[in-house]
Amino acid sequence: MYKFKKIMVLLSFCLIACRLAVPVSELPVHAAEVSAPIRIACVGDSITYGYTSSNPSFHSYPSQLKNLLGEGYEVGNFGVSGYTLMKSGDRPYWSAPQYAQSRQFEPDIVLLMLGTNDSKETNWVHKDEFLADLKELIEIYKQLPGEPEVYVCTSLRLPVEYEHEDTKSGLNRAVIEEEIVPFQEQAADETGCPLIDTHGFSEREMADEDFKDYAHPTDIGYQKLANYIFGSLTGKEISMEIIDDTEFTFKGSEWKESISSGSINGENGTEHYAQVTESNASSHTYEVSFVGTRIQIYGELSPNHGIVSYSVDGGEEMEVDSYAPSRSVHTILYQASGLEDGVHTLKATATAKKSAPASNSCIQVDYAKVFTEYTCTCAIDSLRFYAPSVTIPWDAPSADVALNASGSLAQCRMSGHQERTLNITYALQEDAKGAFIDGDRLIVSEPGTIAVTAKAEISGTELKKEKTAYFTVMKAEKPKQTVPDPPVTQKPDPAPDQTVKPAKPLKLARPVLKAKKSGSKVKLTWKRNPKADGYTIQMKTGKGNYKKIAAKKSSVVSYTKKKLKKGKTYSFRIQSYKKQASSTVCSKWSKAVKVKL
């Protein structure tokens, strides 16, 4: 007998590289506050319709998005197979009945995912029309009476495993990746619409096994897509676990295990069912323990199924009728959401009740989906910045001091946020005189008080924190020269010239930096300066700010920077330094060396 293993699916999001969608919690209406639900129109082709899913009414991404959003939201599926975005395509969406229906739906939100079928050779000969048609369609939806927010969803990737079927279908992987997706991104940018990068998500998080054929997802693939779009709308992240019925605990003598066509991804698996009577119904129960914030129970609707009572953690019971005039597999029977993140137990109990047309009061179950929802908790825990006093030597034009701000990040459970970093930059107040900032060092040339602000920012977010430190700058006085008195008993000799010439200020030669790239590495080399104590190396990416990446002793004449990204341009520079008493003398920065990988 075929048994399903527990499947864990962790969905992560690169909200860094795309414009994040407005969270649903910030949308203008909510069913808890007003009577009308938020209406979401899903516009697209066969991928939106749910083609190849076992039951589009339950497993298309719009259907599963509705399950996740729950009460207060109405989701309309206006996907139609084989249609194009372009008016000149072989089957333009503009002529489909679903186009008119989507506008009559009076949506508050439009999820627009069209363009995959345009990649066919017979359609893409009109590619010059794609961007204009997409922008026009966006504006038509935006100008509906309800002025809905339009989200542009990029086309999914095509799975490599089905490349031979891809050729038969006429879809073109390169056209989608290199031309259609950039056009979709451009249209979103030029119309001011939020972008949901479903193409990037499908590349990162959807394996070939999540596709049923050359372009269309499986039930689980559609669930992953729905989870990602739900996260893009709400700012949340979802992890998902599927628990097969073989891991449930069943009580009662009439339970039977059989092969079902209604299991995960529509493949044959196990199911449990029991035909109960009024006298023994309440003794027929099943339980499943899980860790998460939401659970969905899947099974069948059938002419001989009755009413089942569900509860979580012994709480309030809800009775659900699983009758349908004809058998319907792959359906969601019950859902509990808004749970605390932790361990829970769901219990289902047969009631022997049934609706009038039902032929029996059977209880049946196939599997459960368990979700855990995370919200972003990124924060700057602390920012510390203190200002030591600075003394300019009497015989030097300036002095410098290291800027020492430091901070820490609060840990965030969202997987896409764990690589975020805390970046600290410095700025002088506008009225600061005789001072400037070079990287993480403050250079001063006049006495006074210098205010420096340290700004800490979390990469990929707008979260920031600032702290200002005040540096007291003093100028050392020239040492006085003392001359001993001549002996009283003898005529003093002519006093020698007691003028002491100050030592010539130390100057360090400007280093010459060379760079050689190799793969994702760049090797930097320079000549040793015997007068220096060491070297400071800085790097910047593109047009960003220079940041310190290394400090080396005077005997070291090379450094290799690793893990650089292809396609990026990096600039490097080096400075030698010599510590003297209470100050540090630095050379001029070398000429910047640019390297493009």
- The closest of 336, 327, 331 to 309, measured between CA atoms, is 336
Q: Which residues of 37-60 are buried (b: 16+ CB within 10 A; e: fewer)?
A: bbbbbbbbbbbbbbbbbbbbebbb
State percent of the chain over pLDDT 90. 68
Q: Would you state the pLDDT for residue 6?
A: 34
Whole-angstrom Cα distance, residue 426 to residue 424?
7
Q: pLDDT for 473-517, tens place per residue? A: 999 998 887 766 666 666 656 666 555 555 567 788 899 999 998
Q: HEC string of 272-336?
A: EEECCCCCCHHHCEEEEEEEECEEEEEEEEECCECEEEEEECCCCCEEEECECCCCEEEEEEEEE
pLDDT digits (tens, 9 = 90+) for 81-121: 999 999 999 999 999 999 999 999 999 999 999 999 999 99
pLDDT tens per residue, range 148-164: 999 999 999 999 877 66
In this prediction, residues 305-326 reach a mean pLDDT of 96
Instruction: Supply the pLDDT for residue 71.
Output: 85
Residue 143 binned pLDDT confidence (cut-offs 50, 70, 90): very high
Which pLDDT score is estimated for 416?
Answer: 72
- CA angle, corner 241, sides to 239 and 246, nearest 5? 175
Helix (H), strand (E), coil (C) string for 229-283: HHHHHHCEEEEEEEEEHHHCEEECCCCEEEEECCCHHHCCEEEEEECCCCCCHHH
Q: How many C-beta atoms surround the C-beta of residue 551 within 10 A?
A: 12
Q: Which amino acid is at 503?
A: A
What local confidence, expressed as pLDDT, does residue 14 receive? 32
What's the mean pLDDT in 14-18? 31
**Percent of the chain that is helix, strand, coil (3-state, to 5):** 20, 35, 45
Please name the amino acid found at residue 63.
S
Mean pLDDT of 399-406: 94
pLDDT band at 413 (very low <50, low <70, confident <90, very high): confident
Q: Which residue has the higher pLDDT, 48 or 259?
A: 48
Q: Which residues contact 284 (CB under 8 A, 6 or more apart)?
A: 251, 252, 254, 255, 274, 276, 349, 350, 363
- Tell me: pLDDT of 223 over 60: yes
pTM of the model: 0.66
C-alpha neighbours within 13 Å on the C-beta side of residue 185: 15
pLDDT of residue 493: 61
- Residue 240 in this model has a pLDDT that exceeds 60: yes
Instruction: Give the distance from CA 431 to its chain's centroid.
Output: 40
- Phi and psi angles of residue 244, each rounded to the nearest 5 degrees, phi first: -75, 160
The answer, yes or no, to whether residue 587 has pLDDT greater than 80, is yes
Q: Of the ranges 108-112, 144-148, 165-169, 303-307, which one carries the lowest mean pLDDT score? A: 165-169
- Which tokens hold the place of 597? 């990988």
Residues 19, 461: Cα–Cα separation, whole Å:
11
SS3 at position 119: helix
Domains of the chain: 21-234 (3.40.50.1110), 245-375 (2.60.120.260), 383-475 (2.60.40.10), 514-596 (2.60.40.10)
Would the pLDDT of 320 be above 80? yes
Tens digit of each residue's pLDDT (9 = 90 or more) over 565-586? 888 899 999 999 888 776 788 9
pLDDT beyond 70 at 17: no
Average pLDDT, the chain: 88
Identity of the residue numbered 367: Y
| 9: pLDDT strictly greater than 50 | no
Looking at residue 22, what is its pLDDT? 34
Q: Is the CB of residue 44 less than 8 Å from the CB of residue 225? A: no
Given this model, what pLDDT does residue 488 score?
Answer: 62
The pLDDT > 70 percentage for the chain reads 89
Q: What pLDDT, on a 0 to 100 scale, did the predictor assign at position 109?
A: 97
Q: pLDDT tens, 42-64?
A: 999 999 999 999 889 989 999 99
pLDDT, greater one: 299 or 265 = 299
The continuous run of DSSP H or E covering 356 comes out as none
